[in-house]
């Protein structure tokens, strides 16, 4: 990734109106992507977006750039990121583009691409697009220009696809579910999926106005959902993020259930039904209690770097089909090619219905260890993690925590910070160890 100028781990991201999230750059990016992708057959690129106000501007600019390169655009309107991955495959498109900044505030936006297979673009294709961005923009002959059309049944197709992942012999009749769509891309999808499977659905965060996406709602802030679940005595609360690739849950007692617990519930259910292929991939931030709970089931567990891209890579390397992050990105790759909040929530609901157990009972197998995170600023220059004194303190703490906790020290990729994370069954011990290491980082 180091040699990229524009593409990060999740496409091109930034603040709207600040380069590169500007209409002129989106135009050029559409053209460059069109030039690189035009070698295939269908000459159509799907364009979906979340509910940010800037989505209108960016989709128009991308479409104009694609047209100049001779590719046609098919607009889906607001649609979850995983829906674009699915629809790109079913429409046999050259690629899919998602205009979204996921769980970020409305004033940010991003542009990311899916391959014809519904996976993130290979590095060499992203590099080819970046190289093309350096070339002067041209335009194909008038007769070769791309066209634009709207896919009217995109939502219905994706709703049916999601429902198809729920066992046909089960239903959600008798379940009361509160759904928080973060005023984002799932607002017209998730409630309908659940209703059509028989649930009674109470909606929050389903009135997007272009600027209220992720604002005090959704997967990044479940407080309103917790209150609502208790108020209406719901069986479960589901919170998606702005683009629908993350899920957080709330049980009937108002407790938050995070991505690690969700991942465990899905893994255990897949194991019981004979559908678990290999093991489970988490990340460096996955709670140790998840690792221990999976070990008790005899399920292998591997950690990838933070980021769903790295989780998926490690899943593919091992030919496994399940992975995820504690932030609620859950990838069930035999159901969809990317993290999918709706499909992950249906997998948990399947376990609830199948065994007549509450979310609270299912999640109780993973009692999350307290995690203490301290950010220590340093003066640039030398990396304190290379210091022998810091290494000695860290080694001493690791010895004390052996078998009952772990430490994670990493340098921030964006600012001069060292992130010190200590996780342990004993919260006080975790705090004490984290402070010791932070102090060593500060003074070295």
pLDDT, tens only, 185-217: 999 999 999 999 999 999 999 999 999 999 999
pLDDT digits (tens, 9 = 90+) for 144-163: 999 999 999 999 999 999 99
Q: With contact defined as beta carbons under 8 Å apart, do 184 and 243 qualify?
A: yes
Q: Rounded distance, CA 229 to CA 277, Å?
A: 34
- Say yes or no: 225 and 321 in one domain: yes
Encoded tokens for 406: 């772990």
- Say yes or no: 411 and 303 in one domain: no
- Say yes or no: 390 and 410 in one domain: yes
Confidence at residue 412, expressed as pLDDT on a 0 to 100 scale: 80
Q: Which of 101, 128, 152 is the last residue of a domain?
A: 152
- When pLDDT is averaged across residues 273-279 and rounded to a whole number, the result is 96
Q: Is 317 one of the annotated binding-site residues?
A: no
DSSP 222-243: -HHHHHHHHHHT-SEEEEE-TT
- When pLDDT is averaged across residues 398-420 and rounded to a whole number, the result is 88
Confidence at residue 39, expressed as pLDDT on a 0 to 100 scale: 66
Query: At 393, which helix (H) or strand (E)?
Result: helix 388-401
- Say yes or no: 195 and 344 in one domain: yes
- Say yes or no: 297 and 190 in one domain: yes
Q: Rounded distance, CA 7 to CA 70, Å?
A: 23
Residue 184: which CATH number?
3.40.120.10
DSSP 24-91: HHHHHHHHHHHHHHTTSSS-EEEEEE-S-TTHHHHHHHHHHHHHHTT-EEEEEEE--HHHHHHHHHHT
Q: Is 241 one of the annotated binding-site residues?
A: yes
pLDDT digits (tens, 9 = 90+) for 307-316: 888 999 999 9
Confidence at residue 10, expressed as pLDDT on a 0 to 100 scale: 81
User: Comparing C-alpha atoms, which of 300, 297, 12, 313 is closest to residue 133?
Assistant: 12
- Say yes or no: 182 and 199 in one domain: yes
Confidence at residue 40, expressed as pLDDT on a 0 to 100 scale: 61
Per-chain mean pLDDT for the chain: 95
Look up 102 and say whether it is catalytic.
yes
- Say yes or no: 208 and 94 in one domain: no
Query: At 126, which helix (H) or strand (E)?
Result: helix 123-133
User: Range of 271's domain?
Assistant: 158-363
- Say yes or no: 309 and 407 in one domain: no
Q: Which of 95, 125, 152 is the last residue of a domain?
A: 152
5 within domain boundaries: no
Residue 392: which CATH number?
3.30.310.50
pLDDT digits (tens, 9 = 90+) for 15-72: 999 999 999 999 999 999 999 998 666 799 999 999 999 999 999 999 999 999 999 9
Q: Is 50 one of the annotated binding-site residues?
A: no
More confident residue, 142 or 4: 142
Quote the number of domains for the chain: 3
Given the residues 54, 72, 102, 333, the one annotated as active site:
102
48 within domain boundaries: yes
pLDDT digits (tens, 9 = 90+) for 243-263: 999 999 999 999 999 999 999
Confidence at residue 3, expressed as pLDDT on a 0 to 100 scale: 67
- Say yes or no: 96 and 140 in one domain: yes
320 within domain boundaries: yes
68 within domain boundaries: yes
Q: What DSSP state is assigned to residue 436?
A: H
Residue 304 has pLDDT above 60, yes or no: yes
Q: Which of 89, 119, 152 is the last residue of a domain?
A: 152
Q: Is the pTM of this model over 0.85?
A: yes
3 within domain boundaries: no
> What b/e readout covers 23-33, taking b as 16+ CB neighbours within 10 angstroms?
bebbbbbbbbb
Q: What DSSP state is assigned to residue 8?
A: B
- When pLDDT is averaged across residues 407-429 and rounded to a whole number, the result is 90
Q: Is 245 one of the annotated binding-site residues?
A: yes
Percent pLDDT > 70 in the chain is: 98
4 within domain boundaries: no
Using CB atoms within 10 Å of the CB of residue 280, give its burial: 0 to 12 exposed, 13 to 18 middle, 19+ buried: buried
52 within domain boundaries: yes
- Say yes or no: 16 and 84 in one domain: yes
Confidence at residue 402, expressed as pLDDT on a 0 to 100 scale: 86
């Amino acid at each position: 990734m180091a040699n990229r100028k524009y593409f990060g781990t999740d496409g091109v991201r930034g603040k709207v109106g600040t380069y590169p999230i500007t209409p002129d750059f989106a135009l050029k990016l559409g053209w460059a992507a069109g030039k690189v992708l035009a070698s295939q057959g269908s000459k159509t690129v799907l364009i979906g977006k979340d509910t940010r106000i800037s989505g209108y501007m960016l989709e128009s600019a991308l479409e104009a750039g694609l047209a100049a390169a001779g590719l046609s655009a098919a607009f889906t309107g607001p649609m979850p990121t995983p829906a674009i991955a699915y629809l790109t495959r079913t429409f046999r498109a050259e690629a899919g583009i998602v205009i979204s900044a996921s769980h970020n505030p409305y004033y940010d936006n991003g542009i990311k691409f899916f391959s014809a297979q519904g996976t993130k673009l290979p590095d060499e294709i992203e590099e080819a697009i970046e190289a093309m961005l350096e070339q002067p923009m041209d335009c194909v002959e008038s007769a070769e220009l791309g066209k634009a059309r709207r896919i009217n049944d995109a939502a219905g197709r994706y709703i049916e696809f999601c429902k198809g992942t729920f066992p046909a012999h089960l239903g959600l009749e008798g379940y009361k579910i509160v759904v928080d769509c973060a005023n984002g891309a799932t607002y017209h999808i998730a409630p309908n999926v659940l209703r059509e499977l028989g649930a009674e659905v109470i909606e929050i965060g389903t009135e997007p106005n272009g600027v209220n996406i992720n604002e005090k709602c959704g997967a990044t802030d479940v407080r309103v959902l917790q209150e609502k679940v208790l108020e209406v005595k719901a069986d479960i609360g589901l919170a998606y993020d702005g683009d629908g690739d993350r899920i957080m849950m709330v049980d009937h007692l108002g407790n938050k259930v995070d991505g690690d617990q969700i991942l465990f519930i899905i893994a255990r259910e897949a194991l019981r039904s004979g559908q678990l292929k290999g093991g489970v991939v988490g990340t460096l931030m996955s709670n140790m209690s998840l690792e221990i709970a999976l070990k008790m089931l005899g399920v292998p567990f591997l950690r990838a770097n933070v980021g769903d891209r790295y989780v998926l890579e490690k899943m593919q390397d091992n030919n496994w089909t399940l992975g995820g992050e504690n932030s609620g990105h859950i990838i069930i790759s035999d159901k969809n090619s990317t993290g999918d909040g709706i499909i992950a929530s249906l997998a948990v609901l399947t376990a609830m219905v199948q065994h007549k157990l509450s979310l609270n009972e299912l999640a109780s197998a993973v009692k999350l260890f307290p995690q203490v995170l301290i950010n220590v600023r340093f003066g640039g220059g030398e990396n304190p993690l290379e210091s022998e004194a810091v290494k000695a303190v860290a080694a001493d703490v690791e010895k004390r925590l052996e078998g009952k906790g772990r430490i994670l020290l990493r340098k921030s990729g964006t600012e001069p910070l060292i992130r010190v994370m200590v996780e342990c069954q004993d919260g006080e011990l975790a705090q004490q160890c984290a402070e010791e290491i932070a102090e060593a980082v500060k003074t070295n």
